[in-house]
Amino acid sequence: MAYLDGFVAAVPSAAKDKFEAHARKMDSIFLDFGATRVVETWGADVKQGKVTDFPGAVEAKADETVVFSWIEWPGKATRDAGMAKLMAPDFKDERMDPEANPMPFDGKRMIFGGFQPEVVNGSDEGAAYYQGFVLPVPEGKREAYFRMAEDAWPMFQGYGALAVVEAWGDDVRRGQHTDFYRAVKAEDGEKTVFSWMAWPSREVCDAAAEKMMNDPEMQMPDDMPFDGQRMIYAGFEPLYVLEK
């Protein structure tokens, strides 16, 4: 993948089937306009944090579930051209018609943005569980962050992870209600990173987390290139994957 659009939304838990039906129609438009793949995942282990968390990022209510999704594009130029067509005032398609394909969630609280993948390792083929991450990284520590992420991959792979993607905020705009910046309380001079790690199952992921917690050689560097207290993360189950 050469470019990503990342999304996080709060969906009424009782409307899971309606959300999937709606999203499948909408996501097929992105494939028509050049996207190579769309992945939709449903919150499975989404906890509240002390400083930031996924529910707070989209102002999720008690009866809502957080959805973590992304669109993969062959490049930014294709993505920009596709989005321009989608947003054109003369573009008409029943898949975007609110009457023919009603949105079963509050779109005003959805956060989204364009990201440039910098670390891509492994393959998520066969993945049955994902961990999703969003975090703030100072612009001056961009290289240090991705070097750390690249160096950490062999360890995660050894614990059973199938793939990891780390992507740098490129076209991440401020929203009126919610956005990626507010999700992680980003400060001046910080960009947001959109990341996911794929696992063969939740059981393998949970076992890996326990092993890492009890590994005496597992130590965090003293000069972490980001504020881990403001990182948000959670576990998600795949709803579906659309691809060409």
User: What does the pLDDT profile of the chain (244 residues) look like in tens digits?
Assistant: 899 999 999 999 999 999 999 999 999 999 999 999 999 999 999 999 999 999 999 999 999 999 999 999 999 999 999 999 999 999 999 999 999 999 999 999 999 999 999 999 999 999 999 999 999 999 999 999 999 999 999 999 999 999 999 999 999 999 999 999 999 999 999 999 999 999 999 999 999 999 888 876 666 667 899 999 999 999 999 999 999 8
For 221-232, give one letter per residue: b (16+ CB within 10 A) or e: eeeebbbeebbb
Question: Quick one: pLDDT at residue 164?
Answer: 98
What pLDDT was estimated at residue 212? 87
In whole angstroms, what is the distance from residue 14 CA to residue 220 CA? 40
- Own/partner contacts of 75-83, CB < 8 Å, gap of 24 or more, are 75/2, 75/3, 76/2, 76/3, 76/114, 76/116, 76/170, 78/3, 78/34, 78/35, 79/3, 79/5, 79/34, 79/35, 79/114, 81/33, 81/34, 82/30, 82/33, 82/34, 82/35, 83/33
Total structural domains in the chain?
A: 1
Q: What is the CATH number of the domain that holds 42?
A: 3.30.70.100
Query: Domain range holding 201?
Result: 3-243
Q: For position 218, what pLDDT does the model report? A: 67
Measured at the CA of 206, the angle between CA 146 and CA 131, to 5 degrees, comes to 40
